[in-house]
A and B are shown apart, each in its own frame.
Chain A
């Protein structure tokens, strides 16, 4: 399959079942909501070492938030319910509770419970107050700028982590600009985040390493500087490869994001130095979800 001069590999992205949650952070203005959301979703690129993968889904207008203030919707994913609960407690406790004027609410109505204010309330040292409003419980925790308002419980759902595609281009700059264009469009979609810096990752990995302590190591088959020295997947024209990783609340949302992103890259086409689209997988043995590039783009 070739689109606008871009060759689409006959391969698939392999993704994993994860636990995902949407939270809504509000604040006095968008700047402070974003400050809090950025901190909370920081250091959350990969579950390999961060414990969670997270990102900002979108900015919310006051009419879209529970308390009528500017807000930001964030998505957080982890490999298990237990890990997600731990990550949420730490991240909300350290990054939202601490952020001036912030409040945080559940962004999903259905799913398994995740304690939010239920545990953070104890920061109030007995001065915390609970309120049940319209069937939902909230906690008011006194803090130095007033009160931190936090919903008692949020909801998590079964999700998908690790949807991906690789952009193979003539040069590093061309690969990067194509990924930037793809990310711009993908960020308009609901239910997905691209957790790596700027949504793009350069250090694609393979399973295993020559070093016993490491479970993953550089994907040498896609490293252009090793083209002549290893069993390379790259021909002589490819100067750089970048990857976009997608986590989504649903299978369909990941698939849609992959389609939108790949089509945007294909628009740039061979004229812009884009040669191939490929994807990362483990031979189909590890992940529950497979996203075949040619099926998505047909």
Chain B
């Protein structure tokens, strides 16, 4: 079997919910079945084969080709398999994903990996605001799995994140790790203003002190934290800035906060 390839014919005029086109939802379907599925495009209902040219026959390995920046919820809720977007993707990529792998070679819109509980999402470009965050109405953001971003992240990265790991090789915007409940975020580049805003627990790892710090992040000094050696070892071989960290370089400057909230979160400054 070869990957089921969906090549976009032309960019749709409105946003499209592509949540139904994932390996879990398409399990057992033939290419003809997939072609006959319908998607909502604005107020119109459109068949999949009206939007895409289909080739291949493995619904467990789906490839989107073309500018899919208007296609939202790609890979949402999937439990296994692989989805590859060769180009940009819209918002809500891998929303509430439970397992499997999503690869976006371009950039994504907002709320990438929101509510994700397992699996791995790799974005080789940038992610929009609220990546790994909670959509309005949700109490928790990302709750498991791994989000890898080769480029930059927007504002509120990991907002209300509950578990899992987000690794950003580029920069992150303002309010990184805001309202974070638990989990781990690491940013290799710079972060915007006020990281850890109302952070309750969880770990934010940075390479340099942020320019604008919250007064609620309190300095606890430089320490060797043994868990970092296990964490770095688990990242070994990952693409991006975190795949080749020295597992023995575990001394960091630790800030705890946000004291405006529970104050059990931590911001660790490497080097």
List A residues at the B interface (Cβ < 8 Å): 66-69, 103, 126-127, 129-134, 138, 140, 146-147, 149
Between A and B, 10 residue pairs with Cβ closer than 8 Å are A66-B233, A67-B230, A68-B247, A131-B227, A138-B230, A146-B226, A147-B223, A147-B227, A149-B226, A149-B230
Give chain B nearest CB distance to A148 CB in angstroms: 9
Contact A149 B227 (CB under 8 A): yes
Contact B224 A66 (CB under 8 A): no
Assuming A131-B184, A131-B231, A132-B163, is B203 touching A103 (CB within 8 A)?
no
Give chain B nearest CB distance to A146 CB in angstroms: 6
Give chain A nearest CB distance to B233 CB in angstroms: 7
Contact A127 B230 (CB under 8 A): no
Partner of B225, one of A68, A69, A140: A140
Given A126-B264, A131-B231, 15 more A-B residue pairs with CB atoms under 8 Å apart are: A66-B233, A67-B226, A68-B233, A68-B248, A69-B226, A103-B226, A129-B201, A129-B264, A131-B230, A132-B163, A133-B234, A134-B234, A146-B224, A147-B226, A149-B226
Number of interface residues of B (CB under 8 A): 19
Give chain B nearest CB distance to A93 CB in angstroms: 18
For residue B227, which residues in chain A have a CB less than 8 angstroms away from its CB? 131, 133, 138, 140, 147, 149
Contact B225 A147 (CB under 8 A): yes
Is B190 part of the binding interface, using a Cβ–Cβ cutoff of 8 Å? no
Closest residue of chain A to B183, judged by CB? A132
Give chain A nearest CB distance to B32 CB in angstroms: 39
Is B229 part of the binding interface, using a Cβ–Cβ cutoff of 8 Å? yes
List B residues at the A interface (Cβ < 8 Å): 163, 182, 184, 201, 203, 223-227, 229-231, 233-234, 247-248, 264, 266
Give chain A nearest CB distance to B263 CB in angstroms: 10
Contact A131 B224 (CB under 8 A): no
How far is B43's CA from A284's CA once the two chains are assembled, in angstroms?
82
How far is B203's CA from A244's CA once the two chains are assembled, in angstroms?
50
Closest residue of chain A to B224, judged by CB? A146
Contact B203 A131 (CB under 8 A): yes
For residue A131, which residues in chain B have a CB less than 8 angstroms away from its CB? 184, 203, 227, 230-231
For residue B182, which residues in chain A have a CB less than 8 angstroms away from its CB? 130
For residue A134, which residues in chain B have a CB less than 8 angstroms away from its CB? 230, 234
For residue A147, which residues in chain B have a CB less than 8 angstroms away from its CB? 223, 225-227
Contact A146 B223 (CB under 8 A): yes
How far is B224's CA from A147's CA once the two chains are assembled, in angstroms?
8
For residue B231, which residues in chain A have a CB less than 8 angstroms away from its CB? 131, 133
How far is B230's CA from A201's CA once the two chains are assembled, in angstroms?
40
Give chain A nearest CB distance to B217 CB in angstroms: 16
